[in-house]
Structure 1
């Protein structure tokens, strides 16, 4: 005999009725059809079950399928579409018991907004919100012993500006933002998009605000600021890149900028109509222009990541011979 059943726990089958923790299946003799409150079933053959005193018993696996990460956590992304809050609570309870027995350290639930009803059920089992973005919320729970060691969600926003320097005449591209309390000269820039590299952000923002095309040359500076206004309580990282112009004609974005111009570096370094950080970078660029940019530049090198197989960008001062004197066999 073959039965379609869905449950987590022990399923006891008698001649006419199969009782499950979340409801009842009615089994017709000689038939494999059964009804369930879950609406989805797992195929179990009689040969794979245990028999005892004329009854068929089986420990059914958890119905919440998840992916195990390299840290020993479980991530669940798919849920039965029509599952109720109480049904989900039953499934989650047994799944958590199973994951604990397997030594899993944490569980992540990626819940679409259309199934947000399961969040309250998860909360009853110790889950809390980790973060939310777009149409999905992520809940987490720590299963291992000791203090919760799960990382917090992103704590910073990243702003990037581009200092477009024309080395032939010592002029740099600057803008004045619209709707600011002080119309100070600054380098064009904005927030980095998700998954966007720093260099790409600088080039994109410069073009969007000024219409000037440019290419990345180096990273000049990094500013860290906490409790930044408009950062939703997060900390703020602000990076300034040195760019080389590929065009010079200005097509200002009037929605974001009040003014835009090419200013002499020395004028920018000395004027009171700018911000402290812009003035400092102007002086840094002056030093590089006069003494060589190798003294101020942080170059970018792309390296392979060990675990993901992807690549990342590393910014650092260049070594004279690229570090060959420290290579294997050179020491």
Structure 2
């Protein structure tokens, strides 16, 4: 939706924005929607977008000229109208250039929900009882790539640069927004070592809480089994001190490797000897309930007789 407009600059902007992008004229104001007349200051309601959970979202424009006092009056009137309409929550998206509007919103009970590089999102619970709004950024997701060469029995490991204790570990890093886990593993391995690889399966998942490196939030760390497509190591000088292809059985018992690396090596050793179907969690792509979206579901491989056509679940 287009940004909302109001306040002291309304006269100058009104002729340019006759569709009243910020304020829906109050029923008591003269004229109607689209009239090229200045409505009384604060006489409008903020225009928002309804969501399927019974909430309403208002998005402010980064460059719109907004008067804080008039905005607060319009927001207060809008909150009253939303409550009367049975809305359960209000979401206010404020660009960083409109940060002056955060204080007026906070005075009406809005609180921070989350912030990104150039905007902050505030919320106000309008329903009965305690707020049931979901939290934000409770976890960070890290992914490691266990690149195992079945022909030689060797696995790719690195040592981080600038660590007080340099142990062998699997290359990896944080997953980017919108990035599948397997793609993160492949990308991180290449960025750190120059080795190209292909995703085969998910091996393990670690959950840890109050993680110092995650700003005190919870941390999810997943290990993926990758198949190498190249073998020459070209280390990233900023991240890695050393890199090597080590014998898998040796690494599984090496005290010079991190505990999670030794455990991943033992899983790979078991899978290599007994069949990777014993340890692999493979991924299926299924349609999500949100129209047009898909999701990845990781699990042990199902026998063919238990499978159903995609979308029939």
User: TM-score, normalized by length of structure 2?
Assistant: 0.85
How many positions carry a matched residue from both structures? 288
Greater Cα radius of gyration, structure 1 or 2: 1
Instruction: Give the alignment of 1:134-145 within 5 angstroms.
Output: 134-145=117-128
Contact 1:62 1:98 in 2 (8 A): no
| 1:132 maps to 2:107 | no
Q: Using the TM superposition, give the Cα deviation of residue 180 of structure 1 relative to its aligned residue in structure 2, in angstroms.
A: 1.0
Structure 2 residue aligned with 1:69, among 51, 58, 70? 51
Cα distance in 1 between the residues matched to 2:139 and 2:117: 18
Contact 1:65 1:78 in 2 (8 A): no
User: TM-score, normalized by length of structure 1?
Assistant: 0.81
Structure 2 residue aligned with 1:260, among 239, 243, 249? 243
Contact 1:38 1:83 in 2 (8 A): no
Cα distance in 2 between the residues matched to 1:131 and 1:235: 16
Structure 2 residue aligned with 1:92, among 61, 72, 75? 75
Q: Using the TM superposition, give the Cα deviation of residue 78 of structure 1 relative to its aligned residue in structure 2, in angstroms.
A: 2.8
Q: Using the TM superposition, give the Cα deviation of residue 290 of structure 1 relative to its aligned residue in structure 2, in angstroms.
A: 0.4
Could you tell me which runs of 5 or more consecutive residues in structure 1 were left unpaired when the two chains were aligned: 1-5, 8-21, 24-34, 50-57
Structure 2 residue aligned with 1:218, among 201, 204, 207? 201
Contact 1:164 1:172 in 2 (8 A): yes
> 1 or 2, which has the higher strand percentage?
1
Cα distance in 2 between the residues matched to 1:47 and 1:104: 28
Could you tell me which runs of 5 or more consecutive residues in structure 2 were left unpaired when the two chains were aligned: 34-39
Contact 1:158 1:191 in 2 (8 A): yes
Moved over 4 A (4+): 35-39, 41-49
* Cα shift readout 1:183-214 (whole Å, capped 9, x = no counterpart): 11111001111111101100000000000000
Does the residue aligned with 1:312 lie in a helix, a strand or coil? Answer: strand
Q: Using the TM superposition, give the Cα deviation of residue 63 of structure 1 relative to its aligned residue in structure 2, in angstroms.
A: 3.4
Contact 2:140 2:217 in 1 (8 A): yes
Contact 2:284 2:298 in 1 (8 A): yes
Structure 2 residue aligned with 1:119, among 93, 102, 119? 102
Does the residue aligned with 1:116 lie in a helix, a strand or coil? Answer: helix
Q: Using the TM superposition, give the Cα deviation of residue 238 of structure 1 relative to its aligned residue in structure 2, in angstroms.
A: 0.4
Q: Using the TM superposition, give the Cα deviation of residue 296 of structure 1 relative to its aligned residue in structure 2, in angstroms.
A: 0.1
* Cα shift readout 1:11-63 (whole Å, capped 9, x = no counterpart): xxxxxxxxxxx89xxxxxxxxxxx966853658997879xxxxxxxx9x9843
Supply the RMSD in Å over aligned alpha carbons. 2.6
Instruction: Give the alignment of 1:185-204 within 5 angstroms.
Output: 185-204=168-187
* Cα shift readout 1:225-251 (whole Å, capped 9, x = no counterpart): 112122111111100000000001111
Contact 1:217 1:299 in 2 (8 A): yes
Residue number in structure 2 paired with 1:169: 152
